């Protein structure tokens, strides 16, 4: 099989300087803020994006270390298969996050509900469309047993806002 190569289309700026300081998911820290700088040559692709309240960011986990097929999720104390969790040490270190879009200034998006480390290379942006991206009657595997307190604990109060 041929190799696959991607070039970043921008960079994600946040106040989270380390992997351990980010919320587990942005929804658990709605006040976390950031900016997405889309490189100028891709700025035309932002046309009409202000009509969306949320975006899906696809990015490269640039601080990922060795790939492991087993890892411990942040909300459980037992190892799981890497494809059943969202850990960064994956065969292809790709991340996705749903963020809230507040404003656009030329090629910079102001966002919140962020769970991404500062300086993360942005690979793509998708509009979040509830008819496409929301599923009903889903099962959530091991996550269904995670404590609500631990979901909100990580990342809260650690950062300073942009």
For the record, the structure tokens of 35 come out as 């900016």
Beta bridge pairs of residue 36? 12, 109
Dist CA 14 CA 21 (whole Å): 11
Tell me the C-alpha distance between 109 and 35, whole Å: 5
User: What pLDDT is stored for residue 139 in this prediction?
Assistant: 78
The pTM (predicted TM-score) of the whole model is 0.85
Domains and CATH numbers, the chain: 10-152 (2.40.30.70)
Q: Write the pLDDT tens digit of every residue in 42-65.
A: 999 999 999 999 999 999 999 988
User: What is the rounded distance in angstroms from the CA atom of residue 135 to the CA atom of residue 157?
Assistant: 31
Tokens of 40: 């100028």
């Amino acid at each position: 099989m041929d190799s696959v190569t991607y070039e970043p289309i921008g960079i994600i700026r946040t106040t989270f300087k380390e992997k351990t300081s980010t919320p587990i998911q942005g929804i658990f820290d709605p006040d976390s803020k950031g900016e997405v700088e889309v490189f100028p040559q891709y700025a035309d692709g932002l046309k009409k994006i202000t009509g969306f309240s949320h975006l899906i960011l696809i990015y490269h986990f640039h601080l990922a270390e060795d790939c492991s097929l087993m890892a411990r999720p942040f909300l459980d104390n037992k190892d799981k298969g890497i494809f059943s969790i969202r850990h960064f040490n994956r065969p292809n270190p790709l991340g996705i996050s749903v963020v809230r879009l507040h404003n656009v200034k030329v090629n910079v998006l102001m966002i919140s509900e962020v769970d991404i480390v500062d300086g993360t290379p942005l690979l793509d942006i998708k509009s979040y469309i509830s008819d496409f991206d929301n599923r009903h009657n889903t099962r959530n595997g091991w996550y269904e047993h995670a404590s609500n307190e631990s979901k909100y604990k990580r990342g809260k109060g650690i950062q300073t806002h942009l």
